[in-house]
Amino acid sequence: MERFIVRGTGELKGSVRVSGSKNAALPILCATILCGEEIVLEDVPELKDVEILCDVLRGLGVKVEHKDKNLYVINAENITNTVTGEELMSKMRASFCVMGPLLSRMGHTGNALPGGCAIGTRPIDLHIKGFKALGAEVSISKGMVNASAEKLIGDDIYLDFPSVGATQNIMMAAVLAEGETTIENAAMEPEVVDLSNFLNKMGAEVRGAGTSTIKIRGVKKLHGCRHQIIPDRIEAGTFMILAAATGGDIIIENVITSHMRPVIAKLKECGVNISENGDTINVSHHGRVKSFDIKTLPYPGMPTDMQAQFMALATIAEGTSVVIETVFENRFMHADEFKRMGANINIDGRTAIVQGVEKLRAAKVKATDLRCGAALIIAALTVKGETEIGDVYHIDRGYEDVIEKFRALGADIERVM
C-alpha cells in the first residue's frame, strides 16, 4: 500500500494552479453518452475517478481517447451496451450518472448500485423518483437498478433535498424527453451550472441552472462540441486553508472567485489576509488563526467537501471552534485521525467541538476518505517530525499531481510503498 511521508516545514510560499473540477468533469463525461458526435473536453483532471469513469464509458461502447494531459476526445456514436456491472460501479458513486443519459438516449439501462467514499448514506431514491416522473419503469433487484422507457415525457419534479447527483442525472434524462421538465428545489452548485452549459453547447435547452428551479425543454438530437471544465473550487479551498494553517503566503491561480465566497468569508473571519485579482487569490497569514464556527450546507453555503480541511485548521486555532455537518451523517471519521496527532475534539452527533492546541504532533494516520486525506496533509505540514499517512489512494481520487503541487510550495512530502 502506498503512503505519504510528510515532514513539517513551517511557512509554505509560492503559486499553484488549480486543476479542472473533478465534480464537474465526472457528470460531463457521463453526458457525452447523449450525443453521437465527437466531443472535446479540456482541463479534465488526471485523477483515478476520471480513469474509472472512462473505463465505464468504454464498457458501454464509447470511444474515449486521452489525447494529451487534461484533454479527452470522446465519441459515443456506437453504444453497444447499456448495463454497467458491479466491479466498476462499486468504485465510484459518480458512475451512477451514466443512468440518466443511457435512459434518455437508448431507452433502457441497468446499473449496479454505486460505491465511493464511506462518508454516509447517499440514497439514490431521488434519482429514481425523477426517472419515474419522466415515465420510466424502474426496478431494483440483486444489487442492480434497471430502468426502461419507450419514451420519456417531461414533467414537474420536486426534490425533497437539493441533491447534486439527482439534479444532474434528471437533467441529463430530460434533455431528450418530449416536452418540458421542471426540477424544483434543484441543487445550485457550480458543477450543476457547468453541466448545463455543456448540455446547451450540444444543443440542449436548459434554463435556470444555478437557481433552485431548472427548466429543460426536450430536443430531438444533440451535436458535438468543445468544452473546458471549470476550476475545482474544493482544491482551491484546500490550498487556501493550507496557507492559513502553515502561516504561509500562497498565490492560487485559475480560480472562479465567486465560487469561493463561503471559504473566503470564513477565513477572513479567522484573521487571514486574502486578496483577489481576476482569477487569482492570494492567501497569507502569520501565527495562529482565530477560532471559528462552520456549518456545512448545500451551495451557496459552506461545502461539506471543505469540512475536514476546516477542522484541520480548527485543531490549531486559538480558542474553541464548532463544526456542524448537516449533509452527511458519517463525515467526522477524520476526527479520530486528528486526535492521534494530539487534537482536542469532542463529537456529539453531527457537531464537533474543537479546542485548539498550540501544536499538533507527528503520528501515523490514515486517510479515511478523500477530503480527510487532504486535511491530514495540511495538519502534518504544521508539525515537527515525520507523519505517515496511509490509504492515500483516496487522495489520488480527487487531487491531481498532489505531491508535485505541495512540493512546489516548499512542502516536504513524498510517496513511498
Residue 157 has pLDDT above 60, yes or no: yes
Domains in the chain with CATH codes = 1-17+230-414 (3.65.10.10), 20-226 (3.65.10.10)
- For residue 191, give the nearest of 284, 277, 96, 303 by alpha carbon: 303
Q: Exposed e or buried b for every residue in 213-244, given b needs 16+ CB within 10 A? A: ebbbebeeebebbebebbbbbbbbbbbbbbbb
Residues pairing with 348 in the sheet: 351
Q: Average pLDDT for residues 84-102, to the nearest whole number?
A: 81
Which residues sit in the known binding site for UDP-N-acetyl-alpha-D-glucosamine?
93, 122-126, 305, 327
Does residue 116 carry a pLDDT above 90?
Answer: no
Q: Are 376 and 367 in contact (CB under 8 A)?
A: yes
For the chain, the first-to-last Cα distance in angstroms comes to 6
* Lookup: cell for 262: 463561503
Widest Cα–Cα separation across the chain: 64
Looking at the predicted structure, is the pLDDT value of residue 180 above 50? Answer: yes
Residue 114 has pLDDT above 80, yes or no: no
Whether residue 93 has pLDDT greater than 80: no
pLDDT reading at 121 higher than 80: no
Sign of CA dihedral 339, 345, 349, 351: negative
Annotated binding site: 22-23, 93, 122-126, 305, 327
pLDDT at 119: 41
Q: What is the pLDDT of residues 268-326, one digit of tens each?
A: 999 999 999 999 999 999 999 999 999 999 999 999 999 999 999 999 999 999 999 99
The secondary element (H helix, E strand) that includes residue 348 is strand 344-348
pLDDT bucket at 246, cuts 50 / 70 / 90: very high
User: What does the alpha-carbon distance between residue 267 and residue 273 come to, in Å, rounded to a whole number?
Assistant: 8
Tell me the C-alpha distance between 351 and 212, whole Å: 27
Query: According to the model, what pLDDT value does residue 115 have?
Result: 57
Residue 188's SS3 state is coil
Q: Give the β-pairing of 108-112 and 71-75.
A: unpaired
pLDDT of residue 87: 75
Flag whether pLDDT at 122 surpasses 70: no
What is the SS3 assignment for 266? helix
Query: What percent of the chain has a predicted confidence (pLDDT) above 90?
Result: 88
pTM across the whole model: 0.95
User: Does residue 30 surpass a pLDDT of 90?
Assistant: yes
Residue 187 vs residues 73, 80, 190, 211, 301: alpha-carbon distances, Å: 28, 32, 9, 8, 12
Catalytic residues: 117
Bridge-partner residues for 9, per DSSP?
A: none
Confidence tier at 331 by pLDDT (50, 70, 90):
confident
